[in-house]
């Protein structure tokens, strides 16, 4: 019992600090940047690989959006500061995996890590992510077990924790809300774009691939287009969120 309580305490503590995980992962990646070389020593070829890595991150964001698009208020898909749940999500993606948001996070963070083609870095990331989120998932599941008892256990015993199954999908009763996704996930999309742009700039600057004389000469046209589009999207949605009720959805 003492061990369970300690693990629960650790999980709730880590839950409150999970927003700092991207920063830690970013530091790991920046350390690897000094040894980075373009794929086949070609910036253009490397861009195709970057697109693949970005697609991995975007897939993670898509998983998160799938959760948030259907999540009602005060459920496990909406807790951001503390454990909150009026019901146990058992529909939609929750009929395939118990912790889809963390699966989405894993894929979002994995994309930038894969950028470096560094096996030790990837293994360290996977180990860190597994240890960190295992504690959080333990705390969340203890909260749900204590609150919902057999209603939670009957569902949890049939649904895998992290690697989803691909059968038995249950269609959600609520409709899919694009507005709810835009309201909650616009910083995530912009964050992904910024990280990849920074990595691309850093790789150019530190490796001297273009033999520039000034740092800004490492800025490329793909970086400008990606950052500009991402910044415009972020600014537009943030203005809507802060100054209007256009993206508010009743019961979400």
Q: What would the two tokens of residue 84 be? A: 């909150």
Average pLDDT over every residue of 120-142: 86
Is the pLDDT score of 229 beyond 90? yes
**Domain membership of residue 105 as a residue range:** 2-176
Is the pLDDT score of 193 beyond 90? yes
Average pLDDT over every residue of 20-45: 80
Is the pLDDT score of 15 beyond 90? no
Neighbours of 52 (CB within 10 A): 11
Residue 204 in domain: no
Residue 7: CATH number of its domain = 1.20.120.1630
* Residues sharing a CB contact under 8 Å with residue 237, sequence separation 6 or more, in sequence order: 182, 183, 186, 247
Q: Which of 53-62, 72-81, 105-114, 217-226 has the lowest mean pLDDT?
A: 72-81
Any long-range contacts for 91-95 (C-beta under 8 Å, 24+ apart)?
Answer: 91/170, 91/171, 91/172, 91/173, 92/66, 92/67, 92/169, 92/170, 92/171, 92/172, 93/63, 93/66, 93/67, 93/164, 94/67, 94/159, 95/159, 95/168, 95/169, 95/170
Residue 186 in domain: no
Residue 144 in domain: yes
Residue 82 in domain: yes
| pTM of the shown model | 0.84
Spatial separation of the C-alpha atoms in residues 117 and 36, rounded to whole Å: 9
Residue 200 in domain: no
Q: Which of 22-36, 67-81, 92-106, 215-229 has the lowest mean pLDDT?
A: 67-81
Compute CA 217 distance to the chain's CA centroid, rounded to the nearest angstrom.
31
Residue 65 in domain: yes
Tally of domains in the chain: 1
Check if the beta carbon of residue 125 is closer than 8 Å to that of residue 25: yes
Q: Which is nearest to 134 in space by CA: 156, 107, 161? A: 161
Task: Please report how many Cα atoms fall inside a 13 Å half-sphere around the Cα of residue 118, on the Cβ side.
Answer: 21
Q: Which is nearest to 237 in space by CA: 247, 227, 229, 228? A: 247
Q: Which of 55-69, 83-97, 140-154, 229-243 has the lowest mean pLDDT?
A: 83-97
- Helices assigned H by DSSP within 71-220: 100-114, 119-148, 150-156, 178-207
Instruction: Please give the mean pLDDT across all residues of the chain.
Output: 83
Greater confidence, 215 or 14? 215
């Amino acid at each position: 019992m003492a061990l369970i309580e300690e693990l629960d305490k650790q999980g709730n503590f880590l839950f409150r600090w999970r927003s700092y995980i991207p920063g830690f992962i970013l530091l790991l990646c920046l350390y690897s940047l000094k040894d980075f070389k373009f794929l086949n020593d070609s910036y253009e070829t490397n861009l195709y690989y970057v697109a693949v890595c970005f697609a991995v991150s975007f897939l993670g964001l898509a998983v998160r959006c799938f959760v948030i698009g259907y999540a009602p208020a005060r459920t496990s898909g909406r807790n951001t500061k503390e454990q909150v749940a009026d019901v146990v999500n058992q529909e939609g993606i929750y009929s395939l995996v118990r912790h889809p948001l963390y699966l989405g996070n894993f894929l979002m963070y994995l994309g930038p890590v894969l950028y470096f083609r560094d096996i030790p870095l990837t293994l360290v990331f996977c180990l860190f992510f597994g240890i960190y989120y295992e504690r959080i998932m333990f705390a969340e599941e203890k909260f749900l077990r204590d609150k919902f008892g057999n209603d939670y256990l009957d569902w949890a015993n049939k649904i895998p924790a992290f690697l989803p199954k691909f059968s038995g999908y249950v269609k959600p009763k609520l409709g899919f809300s694009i507005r709810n996704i835009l309201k909650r996930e616009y910083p995530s999309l912009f964050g992904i774009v910024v990280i990849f742009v920074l990595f691309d700039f850093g790789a150019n600057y530190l490796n001297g691939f273009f033999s520039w004389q000034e740092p800004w000469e490492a800025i490329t046209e793909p970086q400008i287009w990606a950052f500009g589009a991402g910044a415009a999207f972020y600014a537009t949605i943030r203005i809507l969120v802060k100054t209007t009720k256009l993206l508010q959805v009743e019961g979400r």
